[in-house]
Structure 1
Amino acid sequence: MTTRTASIFFAAATALAVLLFLQQALSFLSFAAWPSLPLAPDGMSTEQIILAYGVFPRAAVAILAGAALGLAGALLQRLLRNPIADPSTLGVSAGAQLAIVATTLFYPAVLDGYRALVALAGAGGATALVFLLGWRRSFDPVTMVVSGLLVGITCGALSAAMTLSQGEYLMSLVTWNGGALGQQDWSVASTLSLELLAGLAASILLLRPLALFGLGDSGAKSLGVGIVGIRVAVAVIAVGLAAGVAASVGLVSFVGLAAPALVRGLGVRKPHAIILLSPVAGGLLLWLCDGLVQFLGSSTSETFPTGAMTALIGGPLLLWLLPRVKPVELHEERAHVAGARAPRRWLVLLLAFLPAIALVVLFLARTPAGFTLLSTQDFGDLLPMRWPRLLASAAAGSLLAIAGTILQRLTGNPMASPEVLGVSGGAGVGFAAAITIVPAAGVAELFAGAGIGSMIVMIIVVAFASRRQLSPERLLLAGIAVSSLTSAILSALLAIGDQRSWQILSWLGGSSNTATPASSTVLAVLALVSTGIVLFFTRWLTILPLGSAVPVALGVPVRSARTTMIFVAGLATGAASLLVGPLSFVGLMGPHIAHRAGFTKPAHQLLASSAIGALLMIIADLGARTATFPYELPLGLFAALAGAPYLVWLIAVRR
């Protein structure tokens, strides 16, 4: 974006925001009838009260919240020298969300007067974990954002599990999580204004050391800058601003990412100017988005939380900023494996171990007295109910592991998976499209929608990476960008609150309760067929990661091979996601565990990953139905609670 184009865009956005505000305000009262200061409700009409204590405070909150997030994003980007850092990508907002959701459900009295402190504690904990992971790799931009994604997903999974367990809070928490800006008085605006002024004052005091951060750590140290102290101070300011917004209005995504990008697009290059102008851009951006949301609501009778709509800009913006990310040059230590090839007998033992574990799980039950093994009579009575969900869980885990193996081989990236690259999110959008287009959608329609959605997302990510010759690390960021866009679409649909929202929310949690003998058999057959297809083309999975020239020289039809692999991975992800939702991480853990165990050849890794994925999901199904007995947790969320911390550990041990 050129400076001239950015200036025109900024002016047009300002004019449009003002026009939308005036349209909303004038729909209640003509300008001549607007209330005058001081605002005394005793002498006002109903329309004047709505205007003075609803419309005006909402606009003020939008501007102040956007300004706070814009400042937080600018501070984090300058601190980390990372153009894609903001409270959303670093897990700050998700940590605040988790703390508020947990407190709302279990200690609601604490929120009375201490809401901001609760949000600050959650945001601070999540940020500390992300910074700790990034510190081990010199705050590499890719590592920071991937760590933020995983911490955010873990917090989101916990929040969703808690929300689903408390039906009476369900839709109110879902709406709040989307970032609702509706107001009834000026209290929130007053709080946000004080927080913003404090953040601006502290930021102005840190402008000089932040400017010196552009020289690198060594250069800044040589000029007397205390690196650790400044990092802590800036992080505290940014986290405090983001937590204050989360406590006041819920989650508002990617404004902190977009505001500094818009300022730089206007041609501003001096660090202090970017930091001081980003609150202006952030306030304008959120005010504009809120005006568009209200205009759409009055035109279509559908209401969406503004925060869910701002998230729609995150995916495209991340893709646009991706080429500007400069990873820190680090030397990776390869994980040592037992040998170039794992003995076949270990593979046979693994495949034989799977049915034995499945049999134990079928016999295992939990009663008020604890765990017990079923008698033969009880086993026979419960078997018709248990075997479909167990088979479906195993098949779904196998399908996700197959898809993960394909993605890791195809991209040459050991961190690739259907969940991380947004393929599962695409399945969710396809699922939502199916229930929208076909209100009484059956298994066939849902399967087709999820499969098509996952394939479209995978094609987008791979095509974007191929066109720009992205490294494996940047490919992860491209997947995160697309995943953010799909999550925003689902969040917007969730906020509507109709029957479709309940179906999507149920799918997000994932449950094997819906498995029938027919559906579980179809999933199992699909897992076997997918395994057979990929085994037939293992030569492609060996050659395709070698670049673009080598496969052509060896006679591999590159385009057909990629298309076939994408089709299989998309189909497998779509089918599995119908059962377990988008957040299991089995698609990453299965192939990675298999590789670390020594199954390095494509055929061996595929079979081992398939078995490990099935085993992980069988264990997850057992945990989902017994961990909180007599209540049952969502299958996909339970798997995610184990999967995301595993990935965080994986980043922590990589040097």
Structure 2
Amino acid sequence: MAVTKTPASASATDSASAPAPAPAPAARSGLAAAAAVAGLLLVVAVLAVVDITQGTAAVGAHEVWKALTGQADQADSSVVIASRLPRMVAGVLVGVALGSAGAALQSVSRNVLAAPDTLAVNAGSYLALGVLTVTGASLPLLASSGVAFVGGLAAAAVVLGLSGLGAGTVRLVLAGSALALGLGAVTDALLLLFPQRTNGLYQWSQGSISQNGFGGVDQMAPVVAAGLLGLLLVARRIDALALGDDAARGVGVPVRGTRIAVVVLAALLSAASVTLAGPIGFVGLCAPALARPLGRRLRALVRARAAVPFAGLVGAALVLGSDVLLRAMVDKQVAPSVPTGVVTSIVGAVFLVVMAMRAKEPGTAAESDRMRVPSRAGFAVCLVVLAVVLVGVVVAGVLLGDTKLLLGDVANWALGRAGRGVTFVLDTRVPRVLAALLAGAALALSGTLVQAVTRNPLAEPGILGVSGGGGLGAVLLVTSVPAAGAWSVAGAAFGGAALAALVVFGLAARGGFRQNRLVLVGVGVSAATTALISLVIVLTDPFNATKALTWLSGSTYGRTAPDLVPVAVVLAAGTVYAVVRRRELDLVALDEDTPRLLGLRLAPARFGFLAVGVLLSATATAAAGTIGFVGLVAPHAARALVGRRHVRVIPVAMLLGGILVCAADLLGRTVIAPAQLGAGLMTAVVGTPYFVRLLMRTRK
């Protein structure tokens, strides 16, 4: 008799014979995430052990183990306990703080370039601590961290207000870079005006995790823990914001309050990092970006509660890895004087360039096409007024200073009948006034050519890294060959500027000089050149370092007639070239198709104009140091006054550039006489508000 299976028995039999069900996707993701975290912790631990064994003293792993177990002699134990361990722990704290802050900022702003660097938080904290140092106030470390927190938070609020909290990556980077440049100029002015009180502040500003005992680490560790705990408490709200404002409001999340809370907590973490180790560049940008691809694969690491601390661990690995790499590649006697932040800045600059090459969004807001075009009479009046203003500024620059002169003194000097005192003053003052005039005109013409070729109203030699490359080349020569002549400095500046321009414009040319790519690559190259300049200054002797810092501030101090020859020759040749080819310049500035339809070979025309622009920027840098924003402000103002035709823009922009730099040099020499500030610092202070206004005008 056949036996028939009941449904229950059949089910039991099938379940017994079937293979075990596969683990749920969530479980697999959780296991993989745990493995990823464990692997990252192992990497951090290995880097920490290696970092402890590195230093000037011959204390290896065996001696470190003895010191940790209390078996080492007093000398080895003091090295490990007082220096090596605090340095390692500081590296971990700084990395965790910056990585976590960057991850949170990128989530709430939905902007992959949001970080303490691009929001100018580090620059604001640095300025706040610089002001505190200058006042001579002696505050405990926690109170100093509070001052840094206020400065960083204020800077972040300004940048976020200018750029908005959408996905406009270029606008955010531009706003942060411009504000950081202005704040840095004020801080550099404090360094030059109060060298005794700010001694060592410049090296600290490059970011170093070296510590003298556990005092700073013990005080900052609770601050970092509090900031990280605060981010974890609002992690659910951060996740909601990452989906969009409307989705967050739909689930009852207060959008504005959450954003403010996250920015405040990120500023607190950044302030703790700055107080402990100085500004460590780009860790807050790179760490979340390196953690993000893994988060896309592992769902358990997508949510903020896991993503924020995971980015912090990546940040710790970056900081410790940079310190280990630095001490492995540099002589151990020199390594302590090289800030860790220089390495992270160079790595971050390369990372920013790579991200720029992947940027796909359209360009930033362009300049308005509805511009008033004055008549010929209006153009002539504009030229005459600007020429009169320029003559007035030049005359005031010659007559005013720590010693005030009269026009009769200048006339007697020109005729060779002046006294010894007047002759000495004018022999030193006239060349520096002419240097400011020529450098301003050269930078204005350079900015005009670059903006026309790239069709980007935000392009400028300083922002695009060309001036930074020229500054690096000149600083290398000034610090290594102090007696170098004017033509040698100009040649070195041109070499550095040409190399920077080759990188920036070469990469940006792929895809037709898209605004996003050009600006982001330029900012990255500018950051790299700034880090390398800092490295050169830190490693050179104090005399050359002061000389380089003064020169970098855009100072015309000590200029002589031979120093003016290179920039004068290049300016004359560049002006003739631009005026003769003004129609081609108009066509290049239009679009891609019109020049080709009219038979203009676009690539050679672009190359010619860019080469002249780079040469102008380099010689201006050699003559007057690094001066920012002139190449941005002068062409903008010229187009607003006389329209877009370059036959009108070129002379007006050059007059405006000469006026701006001459006025900045005059103010720097007279406002706080007998002390002096470089023209570059003054133009940065003036140019930053102008750039801010430009961003506000094009915000929508």
Q: TM-score scaled to structure 2, two decimals?
A: 0.86
Q: Is the CA contact (8 Å cut-off) linking 1:510 and 1:579 kept in structure 2?
A: no
Q: Is the CA contact (8 Å cut-off) linking 2:106 and 2:113 kept in structure 1?
A: yes
Alpha carbons of structure 1 residues 228 and 351: separation in structure 2 relative to 1, 3 Å: closer
Aligned to 2:487: 444
C-alpha separation in 2, matches of 1:513 and 1:317: 37
Amino acid at match of 1:242: S
* 1:194-343 map, 5 Å: 194-268=222-296, 270-272=302-304, 273-299=306-332, 301-302=334-335, 303-323=337-357, 325=359, 334=368, 336-339=370-373, 343=378
Alpha carbons of structure 1 residues 356 and 582: separation in structure 2 relative to 1, 3 Å: closer
Aligned to 2:100: 71
C-alpha separation in 2, matches of 1:521 and 1:37: 64
Amino acid at match of 1:34: W
C-alpha separation in 1, matches of 2:696 and 2:189: 26
Amino acid at match of 1:69: L
SS in 1 for 2:200: helix
Correspondence for 2:647 among 603, 609, 612? 603
Aligned to 1:85: 114
* 1:100-111 map, 5 Å: 100-110=129-139
C-alpha separation in 2, matches of 1:220 and 1:440: 63
Q: Is the CA contact (8 Å cut-off) linking 2:363 and 2:516 kept in structure 1?
A: no
1:186 aligns with 2:186: no
Alpha carbons of structure 1 residues 331 and 183: separation in structure 2 relative to 1, 3 Å: closer
User: Tell me, which stretches of 5 or more residues in structure 2 are unaligned?
Assistant: 1-31, 414-421
Q: Is the CA contact (8 Å cut-off) linking 2:207 and 2:280 kept in structure 1?
A: yes
Q: Give the drift of 1:593.
A: 0.6
C-alpha separation in 1, matches of 2:212 and 2:400: 51
Structure 1, residues 170-208: CA drift from partner, whole Å, max 9, x if none?
551111101121112112222332122212211111111
Structure 1, residues 434-455: CA drift from partner, whole Å, max 9, x if none?
3467564322221011112112
* 1:20-169 map, 5 Å: 20-21=50-51, 23-24=53-54, 27-29=58-60, 31=62, 34-35=65-66, 45-110=74-139, 114-135=143-164, 138=166, 140-169=168-197
Q: Is the CA contact (8 Å cut-off) linking 1:141 and 1:326 kept in structure 2?
A: no
Alpha-carbon RMSD across the aligned residues, in angstroms, is 3.0
C-alpha separation in 1, matches of 2:592 and 2:333: 49
Q: Give the drift of 1:329.
A: 9.5
Aligned to 1:622: 666
SS in 2 for 1:582: coil
Q: Give the drift of 1:156.
A: 0.6
Q: Is the CA contact (8 Å cut-off) linking 2:362 and 2:516 kept in structure 1?
A: no
Aligned to 2:637: 593
Does 333-342 or 287-296 show the bigger shift?
Answer: 333-342
* 1:274-423 map, 5 Å: 274-299=307-332, 301-302=334-335, 303-323=337-357, 325=359, 334=368, 336-339=370-373, 343-350=378-385, 352-354=387-389, 356-362=391-397, 364-365=399-400, 374=406, 376-377=408-409, 380=413, 381=422, 382-423=425-466
1:527 aligns with 2:556: no
Amino acid at match of 1:206: V
Correspondence for 2:503 among 444, 456, 460? 460
Q: Give the drift of 1:323.
A: 4.9
Amino acid at match of 2:189: A
Alpha carbons of structure 1 residues 464 and 190: separation in structure 2 relative to 1, 3 Å: same
C-alpha separation in 1, matches of 2:360 and 2:254: 24
Amino acid at match of 1:306: T
User: Tell me, which stretches of 5 or more residues in structure 1 are unaligned?
Assistant: none
C-alpha separation in 2, matches of 1:33 and 1:80: 44
Does 232-241 or 553-562 show the bigger shift?
Answer: 553-562
Structure 1, residues 604-637: CA drift from partner, whole Å, max 9, x if none?
1111101110111111111011111221111211
Structure 1, residues 490-512: CA drift from partner, whole Å, max 9, x if none?
11222224255334322211211
Alpha carbons of structure 1 residues 326 and 341: separation in structure 2 relative to 1, 3 Å: farther
Alpha carbons of structure 1 residues 576 and 70: separation in structure 2 relative to 1, 3 Å: same
Q: Is the CA contact (8 Å cut-off) linking 1:507 and 1:578 kept in structure 2?
A: no
Structure 1, residues 225-252: CA drift from partner, whole Å, max 9, x if none?
1110000000001000001111111110
Q: Give the drift of 1:432.
A: 3.0
SS in 1 for 2:400: strand
Aligned to 1:553: 597
Q: Is the CA contact (8 Å cut-off) linking 1:413 and 1:472 kept in structure 2?
A: yes
C-alpha separation in 1, matches of 2:37 and 2:221: 27
Q: Give the drift of 1:578.
A: 1.9
Q: Give the drift of 1:399.
A: 0.3
Q: Is the CA contact (8 Å cut-off) linking 1:510 and 1:634 kept in structure 2?
A: yes
Give identity over the alignment, percent.
Answer: 30
Alpha carbons of structure 1 residues 644 and 324: separation in structure 2 relative to 1, 3 Å: same
Alpha carbons of structure 1 residues 39 and 52: separation in structure 2 relative to 1, 3 Å: farther
C-alpha separation in 1, matches of 2:70 and 2:147: 32
SS in 2 for 1:149: helix
Q: State the number of aligned residues.
A: 646
Between structure 1 and structure 2, the one with the greater Rg is 2
Structure 1, residues 484-540: CA drift from partner, whole Å, max 9, x if none?
111111112222242553343222112112221232244333322211111112222
Q: Give the drift of 1:558.
A: 2.5
Q: Is the CA contact (8 Å cut-off) linking 1:421 and 1:478 kept in structure 2?
A: yes
SS in 1 for 2:509: helix
